[in-house]
Structure 1
């Protein structure tokens, strides 16, 4: 029971951290182009997750490169997180006044639709139980846990081989820029949580929750713009007036359809459990970097594409800072797994280049290029390392 309580509190703490980072980078700017409400909580959580790992990467790499201990990185990161928390409060102080009203509306919806809420809870709960009880015996699984444990016990960062404990004279570039597991080590160092619990339980639950949030957002767009045949109104257009009863009925029908779509996706993930799909990583290797990139990052960018594709060529996307969100997702994904260095630029090219050409939004080209650069730069650095052009040693030379 103690371990379960630790997992629950740590999962909640992680989500709060992601919300803090998301609230900073997606703080609503004044102006008609930003829509009426700014970024929703799910979007802030998802973008905040990748913003969190992007900022951690920028802090971690210099500390690791200059052979500083994990304890120093942990204390620096604690200061950064504290500063981000204060910044989030200052930037969103006015929005906090609306929280009681938002909570009241949410409670009213729950009272009116308890069975639908129960369906969402059961659907996500079943997935959490499945991934938490999965016995992961792969080599990568052992490497993640051993890497975090080794960093915590030696108070160094990727200096010792996780499998043998032997000192390594240089950093392996495949893992040097993928600082996702180093962040786990920092959390374990600061909190005293077991690396096994944090990696295989806490992060698995977090990824399931965030991935289902993305599924819900995408399903919502499909329901509103595809299944129901309704699209978001362009600036200046007036939406047809609906009675309160019609709004409630429409909200209930929309929630049921979203639940149905998410249920179908769940069965796809369970039954398409082969080495050729990302489902096997989500359901059996949930906390690993490839699972996060192949499920959360890819789908998050796809959601951003859907929202940006909705607006007419003359309209402005109602998402708050959409290209900043895409950039952070792509950069953050590259700091989680080197797989993203190839996957994210390909996805961006397949989705956004045709969109830019089709709609004539050529002003988006520089933003697209900026989003592609992190993955390509890290991929190029790995190629140069493999070819022997440079190496980062684990000691001063």
Structure 2
């Protein structure tokens, strides 16, 4: 019974934390936004950006998982309290707007809610996946908890590592999930295969909603777009589709990459295209690159390509050649990680485990 109460509390609590982090980012950087969904997405990026900056040094220095958990809890608590205290006016404004949220919604809006609800039920109660990647993500969370360490043991065998696995060394997503398990007492299977799968679904549709609002003049058509995407996701299941990752492997970093990070980069490209001055999105590009590495090392090649596809056409169109250095800075984290990875697989560079 306690577990059943903790599950929705953690799910809603994470959304609240994302919202607080996003509102702090928006207000402090003068980024104009009136959309709660956009704020949650910014907070999601900020959450994993900050976790990467804090967890990687602690892992390399041999810190214990319980220490990382308390440090992270303290950092998040300070930022949430600061956000609430500093942005009371914004919260009141959103509170006034929420009263009229349900007025004027078309039938497509309610159909959309039903379709997304079906997907949430599917990933929480029906999905099954026994791949090697699935075993790694759950096994890594479990191993970190059992050994009170950070990526210091092989999740497949439990063997103590002398050197960190170069394929996953900067991907701290399992460690972030282990921290959630440590702080809440929930089982790794519950956190990964239920809560995080549902979170991936919700955030992916928030991204698509923001893309729809940026592209469609008639805002009610956004709900039609989400209905269409829902139908595609429910019926397009091949190993090559992001729909398969969304509904059967939503707790894996690659699922978050293809369903949240890459569409979010496309959204940032739209914002850069539509704004007279695109400097406001550069910090978001940089933070997204770091957060993507935290989620999965696959980002080291995919994210720079995606950033190039949305940034370079904007630079050419607006003839802002001076912003090329900002583009290079945005892709730099992924390029550096790729360099470390290539040195590691060739045996030139190894990062020892400190105990």
TM-score of the alignment, normalized to the shorter chain, above 0.5: yes
Question: What corresponds to 1:27 in structure 2?
Answer: 27
Cα drift, residue 24 of structure 1: 1.9
1:160 matched to 2:153:
yes
Cα drift, residue 29 of structure 1: 5.0
Deviations 1:138-183 (A, max 9, x none): 1111111111111111111111121221111111122110001101
CA 186–277 in structure 1, closer or farther in 2 if over 3 Å, else same: same
Equivalent residues of 2:108, 2:224 under 8 A apart: no
Question: What corresponds to 2:81 in structure 1?
Answer: 86
**Paired residue for 2:114, among 100, 117, 122?**
122
Equivalences for residues 222-241 of structure 1 within 5 A = 222-224=215-217
Question: What corresponds to 1:221 in structure 2?
Answer: 214
1:176 matched to 2:169:
yes
SS in 1 for 2:130: coil
Cα distance in structure 2, aligned partners of 1:9 and 1:265: 28
Deviations 1:1-57 (A, max 9, x none): 654443222110111111122122221556xxx55xx35221121121121111111
Question: What corresponds to 2:16 in structure 1?
Answer: 16
TM-score relative to the length of structure 2: 0.94
Cα distance in structure 1, aligned partners of 2:212 and 2:113: 16
- Tell me whether 180-189 or 278-287 shows the greater mean CA deviation: 278-287
Question: What corresponds to 1:227 in structure 2?
Answer: none
Structure with greater Cα Rg: 1
Equivalences for residues 270-281 of structure 1 within 5 A = 270-281=234-245
Question: What corresponds to 2:281 in structure 1?
Answer: 322
1:138 matched to 2:131:
yes
Cα distance in structure 2, aligned partners of 1:3 and 1:136: 23
Deviations 1:334-375 (A, max 9, x none): 111011110110011122112101221223322211111011
CA 353–192 in structure 1, closer or farther in 2 if over 3 Å, else same: same
Cα distance in structure 2, aligned partners of 1:149 and 1:12: 23
Structure 2 gaps, min length 5: none
Question: What corresponds to 1:62 in structure 2?
Answer: 57
1:71 matched to 2:35:
no
Cα distance in structure 1, aligned partners of 2:330 and 2:34: 20
CA 3–125 in structure 1, closer or farther in 2 if over 3 Å, else same: farther
1:356 matched to 2:351:
no
Cα drift, residue 117 of structure 1: 4.2
Structure 1 gaps, min length 5: 225-252
Cα drift, residue 114 of structure 1: 7.1
Cα drift, residue 115 of structure 1: 4.2
Cα drift, residue 88 of structure 1: 1.2
Deviations 1:59-97 (A, max 9, x none): 111111111111111111111111111221243133233
SS in 2 for 1:167: coil
1:343 matched to 2:302:
yes
Question: What corresponds to 1:237 in structure 2?
Answer: none
Cα distance in structure 2, aligned partners of 1:155 and 1:183: 13
Deviations 1:300-340 (A, max 9, x none): 010111122124xxx335xx932222222222011110111
CA 4–124 in structure 1, closer or farther in 2 if over 3 Å, else same: farther
Deviations 1:363-395 (A, max 9, x none): 332221111101111111111111222211123
Query: Aligned residue pairs: how many?
Result: 354
Equivalent residues of 2:6, 2:184 under 8 A apart: no
Cα distance in structure 1, aligned partners of 2:310 and 2:192: 32
**Paired residue for 1:208, among 179, 183, 201?**
201
Equivalent residues of 2:65, 2:149 under 8 A apart: yes
Question: What corresponds to 1:261 in structure 2?
Answer: 225
